[in-house]
Amino acid sequence: MSEQRVGDVDEGTLLRRIFAVLEGSSAAIVGPGDDAAVLRTPGERVVATTDTLVHGPDFRLAWSSGTDLGFKAAAVNLADVAAMGARPTALLVALAVPESMPVSFVEDLAGGLRAACDELAPGCAIEGGDLTVSDTLTVAVTALGVLEGEPVRRSGARPGDVVAVAGALGAASRGLQILFGRFRDATGTPVPVDLDTLSAGERADLAAQLRPAPPISLGPIAAAAGATAMMDVSDGLVLDATRMADASGVTLELSSRLDADALTGGEDHALLATFAAADVPAGFRVIGAVRPRASASVTVGGVVPTGRGGWDPYRDWDAARG
């Protein structure tokens, strides 16, 4: 018997199949199934962010399972909430799904979304969203969170602070290199990953790319410890550090011990923050210092890095086609 496809069922049936995977995870006053969710918020300020994953520039079905894709779609949004110093509370998910997509893949995607919330941000849940049909699989997630104190913006770094990071740097980039270097055929078309051909280290790098696990719980901890600036490292350390430096009107001096993958690889979703030297909390490691503004936004070991130092989808997508 052939597997049931999205085009074989109506919208209500598919939504019920998704809700069955998510059932029990919600702590909302009103959860999925009504016109909008109603959420309890302990404070007056709600943090909101959104991110979209599109088949092609952001993921390939040959390489990502439904569970991996759902987990990653949640993780990248949870990281943005954490980077403000907030605690994630809810996700709203919009899916645009081809008719030929197996229903089981969509159920696995929902399971990945829920697993990411359970593992990375306990108490956060998927509270609603939207479902439509499209030739291109697209996952758009809106994440909400609550602040216990003041938001930590990327514009607060001060001369004399130290630069610190929580989470891996460079692993996701190495994972992407493995995918493009070893799991495409002669025409450049992606082919399924054969894990048996990979070492333990390569599997870890691949997991960092396909199923990232940012240190979400450390966002509020950093805020409580007095972080002066913070942001999610999604496009590469040098590029994102440049954004922080420009917003703060300072120069960030990074350690020469950081390798090329750590400096320029994207999709790590680590937390980059600045602190007074005495305030760095456990889980963060110091990788540099904040200096008064000089001619360069960022230096590495005293040298100005060349190039953009990270991922720009409008400039780099053509080079990644295949």
Is 154 a known ligand-binding residue? yes
CA distance between the termini of the chain: 33
What residues pair up with 289 in beta bridges, in sequence order? 162, 253
Is 255 a known ligand-binding residue? no
Is 267 a known ligand-binding residue? yes
Q: Let me know: does 114 contact 21? Beta carbons within 8 Å.
A: yes
Is 268 a known ligand-binding residue? no
Q: Let me know: does 146 contact 46? Beta carbons within 8 Å.
A: yes
Query: Nearest-CA neighbor of 232 among 245, 220, 223, 219?
Result: 219
Cβ within 8 Å of residue 197, ≥6 positions away: 182
What residues pair up with 97 in beta bridges, in sequence order? 133
What residues pair up with 166 in beta bridges, in sequence order? 271
What residues pair up with 162 in beta bridges, in sequence order? 275, 289
Sign of CA dihedral 24, 29, 34, 35: negative
Is 41 a known ligand-binding residue? no
Is 52 a known ligand-binding residue? no
Is 17 a known ligand-binding residue? no
102-141 in b/e form (b: 16+ CB < 10 A) is ebebbbbbbbbbbbbbeebbeebbbbbbebeeeeebbbbb
**What is each CA distance from 293 to 71, 158, 226, 240, 256, in whole angstroms?**
39, 10, 22, 16, 19
Q: Let me know: does 115 contact 18? Beta carbons within 8 Å.
A: no
DSSP code of residue 228:
S
Is 132 a known ligand-binding residue? no
Is 107 a known ligand-binding residue? no
Is 80 a known ligand-binding residue? yes
Annotated binding site: 35, 49-51, 58, 80, 129-130, 154, 232, 234-235, 267, 311
Annotated binding site for ATP: 129-130, 154, 234
Annotated binding site for substrate: 58, 267, 311
Annotated binding site for Mg(2+): 35, 49-51, 80, 130, 232, 235
